[in-house]
Amino acid sequence: MPRIVAVSSSALNDAAQILRDGGLVAMPTETVYGLAANALDGVAVAKIFAAKGRPGFNPLIVHVPDVAAAEKLVVMNDAARLIAESFWPGPLTMILPRAEHCPVSDLCSAGLPTLAIRVPALKATQDLLRACAVPLAAPSANKSGSISPTTPKHVADSLGDTVDMILAAGACDVGLESTVLDLSGDVPVVLRPGAITAEQIGHVLGCDVGYDLGDHGGADVKSPGQLLRHYAPAIPLRMRAVDVAPGEALLAFGSTRFMGLRGGGAASALPEHALRNLSENGDLYEAASNLFRMMRELDNGQNSGIAVMDIPDTGVGLAINDRLRRAAAGSVK
Ligand code: TXA
Ligand code: MG
C-alpha cells in the first residue's frame, strides 16, 4: 500500500520534496485527486504516463498557484484574462498556446502547440504548489480509462505502490473533473463539461459558447482524451432507466417513488449493495460530488449492471450526463 498522509505542514513539505526529487504524489484538489509530478522534469512526467497506463498522445493539465505563474507558461489573450478573473482559482482548465520559452516538458502537451493550465482552489493544493515552487502536471489519479478518484482510498485502490505518497484531504467537493475550455482557436469552445458551464463562460465573454465533446468522431477531435474509453465501471451501465432489471443495481436521482423492479416490487426494497441515491432532493451539485464514489460502490461484484435514473441535462447535469454516457459506452461488452 502507498503511504497515505493527512495534510499537515510536515506532510506538505515531504510531498514537495518528493516532487522536487522527481517522484509522484497523489494530491487532493476541489475536483478529483490528481497524480502530480514536476512539470519541468520530463523524466518525472514520463512516470505519470507509466503509472496510469496513459497513451502518450493524451496531454496533461499543468497546475499553477496563480495567474502570474500561468503567464510564464502560456500566452494569455484578453478572453483568457477575463476567464481567469472570473473563475480562477477554481474547477476550470484553459487550453492556450504555449509561451515562446515555456519551460514545461513537451510530454505534458503530447506534441501539441498548446498547454492545458489550471489554478486550483483547494487550500491544500495551493499550499503544495507554493511549497514545491514548480508547476505540477497532474491528470486524475486513476488508471487510464477508469473512474476518476474522489477519495484517497480510490487512489490507493487504482494506483497502488506506483505513487510515492498520497496526500489526503478527505472527499473532493466538486467530484467531477474541471471544465476544459479551449481558448486557443478563433472561437471559445468547451471540450469537457464540468461544474462551470458553457453558459456561465459565455456570460463572462459576452458571446455564445458551445460544447465540442468529440462525439462526432473523425480526425478533428480537439482533445485527445475524448478519443478514449473513459470513466467506465466494469459492469454495463444504462441511462434514463424507468425500471430495474433482476440483478441490476439502481443509481437513483431524486425520489424513487415511481421506480419499480421488473417482475414486481419497489426500488426502495433493493438491498444496500444495489441502491445509491445521487441526491434525494434532486440537487445536481450534490449528485456531481457523489457520482464517481457511488458508481464505484455499485460496481462491487454483486451487481450485474447499473440502471441510472434520468438526470436533467441542464447546468452541471450536462457534465454528469457526459460522464454517464462515456461510462455507458465504455461498458458495453
Ligand atoms: O479536474 C481536473 O481537471 C483534474 C485535476 C487533477 O486537476 N485533472 C484531470 O486531468 O482531469 P486529466 O488528464 O484526467 O484530463 C485532462 C483532459 C484530457 O481529456 C486531455 O485530453 C485534455 O484535458 N487536454 C490536456 N491538454 C490538452 C491540450 N493541450 N489540448 C486539448 N486537450 C487537452
Ligand atoms: Mg482523467
Ligand 2 centroid from CA 312, angstroms: 24
Q: Which atom of ligand 1 has the smallest separation from the CA of 116?
A: 26
Ligand 2 centroid from CA 83, angstroms: 23
Q: pLDDT > 90: what percent of the chain? A: 86
Is 148 assigned to a binding site?
A: yes
Q: Are 159 and 72 in contact (CB under 8 A)?
A: no
How many Å apart are CA 74 and CA 87, to the nearest integer? 17
Q: Which CATH number fits domain 237-330: 3.40.50.300, 3.90.78.10, 3.75.10.20, 3.40.50.11030?
A: 3.40.50.11030
Domain extent listing, the chain = 4-227, 237-330
Q: Is the CB of 109 under 6 A from ligand 1?
A: yes
DSSP structure class, residue 178? P
Q: What is the pLDDT of residue 2?
A: 73
Is 162 assigned to a binding site?
A: no
Q: What is the pLDDT of residue 227?
A: 59
Q: Which three cell numbers stand for residue 202?
A: 459565455
Q: Is the CB of 144 under 6 A from ligand 1?
A: no
User: Parallel, antiparallel, or unpaired: how do β-strands 4-6 and 165-168 relate?
Assistant: parallel
* Residues 6 or more apart in contact with residue 239 via CB below 8 angstroms: 308, 310, 311, 321, 324, 325, 328
**Complex confidence, ipTM:** 0.99
**DSSP codes of every residue in 285-312:** HHHHHHHHHHHHHH-SSS-SEEEE----
pLDDT tens readout for residues 282-320: 999 999 999 999 999 999 999 999 999 999 999 999 999
Is 238 assigned to a binding site?
A: no
pLDDT tens readout for residues 233-259: 889 999 999 999 999 999 999 999 999
Would 4-227 and 237-330 be classified into the same CATH topology? no
4-227, what's its fold?
DHBP synthase (3.90.870)
